[in-house]
Chain A
């Protein structure tokens, strides 16, 4: 296995091992924000 592949496997492992709740924004909220700010965007 190449060094790059080993590193990737390692990263996936520690990501999994250390998985805990992170502050996350929902897709629904992001889409709402997108609609909220659409009015401020310059029409091109």
Chain B
């Protein structure tokens, strides 16, 4: 049976598929947040400019299924100094979740790689990006460390919202590169 996996922009065309997307409550501290985000908020955030969501979608002859999603947005990584706070250009992994039936199949890994590759491509000629940031659930910290993210030290901070104020801020810096 023909089967294809693709990472695509999440649009209204796929909105119906979002209703069968479910997150394992044991895998994350806030599973319902992610389910409701993809079902009700992702497209509105795209319209308002707050975030762009991509879905990892599997298609075969019988059906299409969203296996995971990631939302990216511009942000600032701030460093706190004695008498000032400075912002550095960054891209944030704002949301990332994998369907409960597809855990352990590297879907999340492929989405993180997609985010890092996208940042690398954008900064070549579109947008200045020095850091990638995210705010992780405690149990997801080891997962992100595999992709070279580290906990933000006490001199750094990333914007957070009320729902994830207890998450763990993480950051990785992109290397310098001559684009001549």
Contacts and interface: CB of A to CB of B under 8 A. Distances in A.
A40 to B, nearest CB: 4
Given A23-B148, A25-B148, A30 B117 contact: yes
B8 A42 contact: yes
B86 A37 contact: no
Interface stretch (B35-43, B45-53, B89-97, B172-180): B172-180
A27 interface: yes
Interface string A18-37: 10001111110111011011
Nearest to A35: B117
B56 A33 contact: no
A29 B111 CA distance: 15
20 contacts: A18-B155, A22-B173, A23-B150, A23-B171, A24-B148, A24-B173, A25-B173, A27-B177, A30-B116, A30-B120, A30-B174, A30-B175, A33-B114, A33-B117, A34-B120, A40-B7, A40-B110, A40-B114, A41-B6, A42-B8
The 8 A-B pairs of least Cβ separation, nearest first, read A23-B150, A33-B113, A34-B117, A40-B7, A25-B148, A30-B120, A24-B173, A37-B114
Interface of A: 11, 14, 18, 22-27, 29-31, 33-34, 36-37, 39-42
